[in-house]
Amino acid sequence: MSLYSQWTDMVVDYVKTKGEAAFWSEYSDIERRIYTELLGSHNTVKKATIEKLAKDYNTTSEFVMGFVDGINESLKNPYDLENIAADQELVFDIDFEQLYFNMLDAKADYLYDLPQWDGIFSVEKRKEIAVQYRESKIARNENKIGRNDPCPCGSGKKYKKCCGKGE
């Protein structure tokens, strides 16, 4: 069984036995501590194994695998999560703009509000990324036909007098 499968199974068991609130409390604490260090030393690419991170942060390999699952899309070279071993050295070469964007998407205010972001992006840059995030969530129908546009059926009539009649 892969470490990633162990992580997902552990989450299900944890929530069943201790509750969702207890899971998020423990997981977010671990995640916050790891991100505080990563963001604080953002000029250095961190290299570590899951086992080492688990030892350093006094947690289990499964919880660290959850962290890797969360940061994976923000890495310049993402990993195949199913094939990560606990003793494999991982390189956390982070795309910080993508990471901030993903934290906004996850609604992880306990992470995107960390003071360590001040050393990476200006307040203006963070606002710009937040605007990009909000824009990405707006659904737009670019192909909407106006009432006075020619009807797409090719009749030569205005849309409102042809296929759009009764709308």
> Taking a C-beta distance cutoff of 8 angstroms, is the pair 126, 100 a contact?
yes
Instruction: Look at the chain and count its residues.
Output: 167
Q: What is the mean pLDDT of the chain?
A: 93
Residue 141 has pLDDT above 80, yes or no: no
> Which pLDDT belongs to residue 12?
95
- Give percent above pLDDT 90 in the chain: 84
> Which pLDDT belongs to residue 78?
96
pTM: 0.81
When pLDDT is averaged across residues 54-83 and rounded to a whole number, the result is 96
CA 17 to mean position of chain CA atoms: 27
> Which pLDDT belongs to residue 167?
73
